Structure 1
Amino acid sequence: MSRAILPARRAAQTFEFDCRGLRYTATLGRHADGQAAELFLSCHKQSSPADTDARDAAILISFALQHGATIDALANAMSRDAHGAPQGLAGAALDAMAATIAKDDAE
């Protein structure tokens, strides 16, 4: 599948979540139809390895979304503990994205 080209201006929503005791800020960009299109992530510890990991994870998630992957498919592929909780940053970010979208859809 080819990459979906995003318009210069698009709807976006910012939210926060925690992972491994660190606070992250996420901005979810959407296509005109409301589907997730991209993710920007940053850690409250700027210029730290965790912040670099956050930015890199967001690039990979965005690339996958723009090539047709769904949040659910990506989230289901992430490492999880015995209770289904994500074990890493990418899984936590995807779960937070899904929860944010579900909350919006319910309103």
Structure 2
Amino acid sequence: MTRARLPNRRPNETVQLMFNDTRYAVTVGYYPDTGCIGEVFTHGAKVGSNMDAILDDACVALSLLLQHGVEPAGLAASMGRPGGDGAPASIIGALADLLAEKTVARTAAGGVS
């Protein structure tokens, strides 16, 4: 599938995500015409740290996957869950779970077509 770019101005929301006792500010951007998620950004790691760079790169990759039509539920289902309790192995998996949960909630509320 070809990439569906987001417009320069688009709706978004910022929420808090806790993972392994660390709080992350996660911004989720939406396509204005469909309400579907098209991008994700997060901050929470020390600015300039390796983890900050990893999160930036992971969010770019997740956003590109979304813009190429990969469903958030598919992203979440593909992440590692080694503990047997279904919890994500990393913050990247937790981000994918958040995106899937947001999609379900928006669909239930009628915000996604």
Q: Can you give the 5+ residue segments of structure 1 that lack an aligned partner in the other structure?
A: none
Partner in structure 2 of residue 36 of structure 1: 37
1:27 aligns with 2:19: no
The answer to whether the Cα contact below 8 Å between 2:73 and 2:100 also exists between their aligned partners in 1 is yes
| Aligned equivalents of 1:16, 1:105: Cα separation in 2 | 21
In the TM superposition, residue 5 of structure 1 has moved relative to its aligned partner by: 1.6
TM-score (norm 1): 0.88
In the TM superposition, residue 20 of structure 1 has moved relative to its aligned partner by: 2.4
Percent of pairs with identical residues: 35
| Aligned residue pairs, count | 107
Q: Can you give the 5+ residue segments of structure 2 that lack an aligned partner in the other structure?
A: none
Q: Which AA in structure 1 matches 2:84?
A: A
The answer to whether the Cα contact below 8 Å between 1:25 and 1:44 also exists between their aligned partners in 2 is no
Say what the alpha-carbon RMSD is for the aligned residues: 1.7
In the TM superposition, residue 102 of structure 1 has moved relative to its aligned partner by: 3.8
TM-score (norm 2): 0.84
- Which 4+ residue blocks in structure 1 deviate beyond 4 angstroms? 103-107
